[in-house]
Structure 1
Amino acid sequence: MKIENLPNEFTDARKVLQVIEDAGYQAYFVGGSVRDTILHTRINDVDIASSAYPEEIKSIFKKTIDTGIEHGTVTVMYDGKSYEITTFRTESGYQDYRRPDQVTFVRSLKDDLKRRDFTINALAMKENGEVIDLFGGIDDLKKHIIRAVGDPEQRFNEDALRMMRAVRFASKLDFTIEAETFTAITKHSYLLKKIAVERINVEFVKMMLGKAPSRGLNQMIETKLIQYVPIFNNYVSNIADLATLSISDYLNNETQVWSLLAVQCGLNDDQINHMMKAWKCSNKLTENVRLVVLACRKIMTDNLDAMTMYLVGKEDLDNACQIALAFGHLVDDDRIENEYEHLPIKSKNELKINGKILINHGFKPGPQLGRVLKHLEQAVVSEQVNNDYDSLLAASKKIINRQ
């Protein structure tokens, strides 16, 4: 196969390949960029592999950076842009089921490609658009199949994360996992315990944001991968029910992914915190999910109030609407957006009074002052007090008198 009109992402990088070839070495575009070019989908990173060893790459180009030279990667600065060039290599000795104990640089493109995970990712392309397919990747793309390169059991013993990558690609592309590859995942699913949660997290979220997240969830259940990820082994029936829904049209970001799962599994705030901590998610993401779940449940029970909208904020209110829609709830998002836009304030910083002003009026600094400001904030949002200086000052004095 030869691709006549290469996407713009390759335009500048082609010059780098030509320089390497002019120096007497081989150079190819490899991996996902070639796959996505054939599929006519958006290209993320353009990866370059070469028969030139790192020191040889450094001798060809004037300015280079040793990005990951122990694994054969050198960053080349050329015409004001940076390009990562990785030497063809073989790997061996995967004692931790993730990283090779030994990396050996080689001159053979075939040796480099055969260590890769799936046939659709083991493609190489010359700078002129000619595709090198040594393992049937193009045919698998046409048949919509995820197939391991060579022996799938060996591939997954080398790197157990590849099992999650299989279900991620199946979801992302809406492909089927080939039978032998699927069987190998089922047989070795327990090896996922060897992989850092952070790495599983990345693949899982990408899976949920793919074309067919329900396919991915079902495959995780069928292969028993679900048993070896945090939390969800206790909610398999919930996850199975979720997989019956058409959720792909409603998931656009990480917050929505975790919020959807929290609602489906019926998690309270403490359980949400536990889930997010187990999956090594950030505190900020955890708080966003907690707020989205709060709003979503109120939307789904037609109980959304001004204070909830205020606490949740515009972005996460939109996220909550999407989750409610995913569960089949009829959401009047125009009405919700209109009500949010007409809130008296969107932030406590919009209050026409603050702690400094109250102190100037004789209020003592400390926790009590904070409680007064919180009362004022709630009173303004619920339209019990107007957001003007005189009204807020009068209200604050009443609050102090009651306390």
Structure 2
Amino acid sequence: MDAKLEQAAGAASVPAPALNGTRPSAGALAVLAALEGAGLEAWIVGGWVRDALLGAPSHDVDICCAGSWQENEAALEAAGIRVVESGVRFGGIAAIAGGERIEVTSYRLDGFYTDGRHPESVQRARTVEEDLARRDFTVNAMAWHPERGLLDCFDGAGDLARRQIRAVGEPRRRFEEDALRMLRAVRFACRLDFSMDPATAEALAACAPLLDAVARERVGWELDGILATGRGGDALLHYPELMCAAIPELAACRGFDQHSRYHAFDVYEHTARVLTVAGELSLSRVDGAGPDTAPSPSLMWAALLHDVEKPACFTLDERGNGHFYGHPERSAEAARAIMGRLACPGALVRDACLLIRYHDRPLEAERTDLLRMMGRLSGSGLDTVRLMNELLDLKRADTLGKAPSCFYYVEDIERMREMVRELVANREPYSTSTLDLSGRDLIEAGVKPGRQVGALLSRALDAAIDGVVPNARAELLAYLGL
């Protein structure tokens, strides 16, 4: 380490004041010391301040500084801190200190937003207060310094205490500047389990059409973040205009009466309830991975889109009962198009669409039925056991989103889950790859390479699933007459 950096790190290692019991990292303090040692006022801003006040695990550190990016870079390099020139167009660089990447940005004022996403120009601001005034939400518009303390011009700390998300200044102006902020507002509200300030919520609904100007992959990234909180159902229920602007196909589901004794809610509210239950169960220590682990993305996307084509499949019989024949298959096709448009990863699209396709297929707590379903969820790159459990999760959430008369099925689903565990533990086959018999075994037994090998493996698999023969190589060969 450079001698100057050692000196800065040494000064930073002296116990520094903490914000709500959270201390900045040694690297962050070294960067602060280097900037201010060069006469450049600097503050820690943004997520780290918010999370420290919440008593949450510390966020990546961002620093805002009075110097230009060139002055900031010179000050850091003089202290022996490596700099990466990233975002210099907006006055930003990255400092690498103590193995940590710390973003350093000059005080700035944004010019006009001509594309609803990026400022046309960026100007230097004279003070940190001016910089904080351009930020999105009050909980993100606070600054802190180990010696000068907390700078909170917009009562962000008060909003944290009130558990609400509120735009800085005029909400509509904030969203007109950058329409993606609307989804960010919802993501923060879901992640923190906060409500939305009434004026900000009103602006969300009014400005929702502005989302059309945002690149679809950015919309997809924010939607994925909302779903990852496990509270995507809240987003659907509380911010329907925005969610339907993000995924226009959802709009047809709003208020769509299912005309069914099995459903107590319209298609949209049913979807929200399914998403809520799936998220809650995934965050449960008993049934899911626990509150510190994000829910499965494939399960969340499947819950969101599992009934998206129901309105298009609706028919009404002579008794006034609604039917949605073919909606799982059509919803899977629609989900593939929607998720592709939103630039979701291919493996995620594949898994979510499989869950959607089979979510409504009748399934019983019976060995053969379960193995056949596991076979449908098997193939190259597929985690069959995970997908089977997620399918059962989706079925359970779907059941609990219906009328109370359907809730009995939850017990059957949990019985199926236990049976799946036993089937896997007992090495019961559900695909040719899980057979205790391979193509090489057949060839060694005298079968000529070609289609006959695959046909014999399929025959052996059917027999093993039906319980005609055990999943053991010798017995399978004998069953095939080899």
Q: TM-score range by the shorter chain?
A: 0.7 to 0.9
Give 2:249's aligned residue: 231
CA contact (8 A) 2:27 2:97 kept: no
SS of 2:85 mapped into structure 1: strand
SS of 2:86 mapped into structure 1: strand
Q: Distance in 1 between matches of 2:162 and 2:101?
A: 35
CA contact (8 A) 1:146 1:176 kept: yes
Q: Distance in 2 between matches of 1:354 and 1:335?
A: 26
1:337 to 406, 421, 434: 421
Corresponding letter in the other structure for 1:337: R
Deviation at 1:276, TM superposition (A): 3.2
1:195 to 214, 217, 222: 214
CA contact (8 A) 1:98 1:160 kept: yes
Deviation at 1:34, TM superposition (A): 1.2
**Is 2:300 the partner of 1:260?**
no
Q: Distance in 2 between matches of 1:4 and 1:232?
A: 43
Deviation at 1:5, TM superposition (A): 5.3
**What percentage of aligned pairs have identical amino acids?**
27
**247-256 or 346-355, which deviates more:** 346-355
Deviation at 1:191, TM superposition (A): 0.7
Give 2:184's aligned residue: 165
Deviation at 1:151, TM superposition (A): 1.3
Deviation at 1:158, TM superposition (A): 0.8
Distance 1:336-1:174 versus aligned 2 partners, 3 A rule: same
**28-37 or 2-11, which deviates more:** 2-11
Deviation at 1:65, TM superposition (A): 1.5
**26-35 or 37-46, which deviates more:** 37-46
Q: Distance in 2 between matches of 1:368 and 1:129?
A: 79
RMSD value, Cα: 3.0
Distance 1:282-1:244 versus aligned 2 partners, 3 A rule: closer
Output aligned runs, 1:95-134, within 5 Å: 95-128=114-147, 130-134=149-153
**Is 2:103 the partner of 1:84?**
yes
Distance 1:70-1:161 versus aligned 2 partners, 3 A rule: same
Distance 1:224-1:199 versus aligned 2 partners, 3 A rule: closer
Q: Distance in 2 between matches of 1:165 and 1:379?
A: 53
**Is 2:326 the partner of 1:283?**
no
Corresponding letter in the other structure for 1:285: L
CA contact (8 A) 2:20 2:52 kept: no
Task: Spell out, residue by residue over 1:48-96, the C-alpha distance to the aligned partner (whole angstroms, 9 max, x if none).
Answer: 2222222222212242212222222222222343322222222223222
Q: Distance in 2 between matches of 1:88 and 1:236?
A: 44
Distance 1:367-1:7 versus aligned 2 partners, 3 A rule: farther
CA contact (8 A) 2:64 2:106 kept: yes
Number of equivalenced pairs:
396
Output aligned runs, 1:273-352, within 5 Å: 273-280=333-340, 281-293=344-356, 296-297=359-360, 302=365, 305-312=370-377, 313-327=384-398, 328=400, 329-330=410-411, 331-332=414-415, 333-345=417-429, 348-352=432-436
Give 2:6's aligned residue: none
Corresponding letter in the other structure for 1:162: R
CA contact (8 A) 2:138 2:165 kept: yes
Output aligned runs, 1:4-19, within 5 Å: 4=19, 6-7=21-22, 10-19=25-34
What's the TM-score, normalizing by structure 2?
Answer: 0.73
Q: Distance in 1 between matches of 2:337 and 2:32?
A: 44
CA contact (8 A) 1:32 1:45 kept: yes
1:355 to 439, 445, 470: 439
What's the TM-score, normalizing by structure 1?
Answer: 0.86
**22-31 or 11-20, which deviates more:** 11-20
SS of 1:279 mapped into structure 2: helix
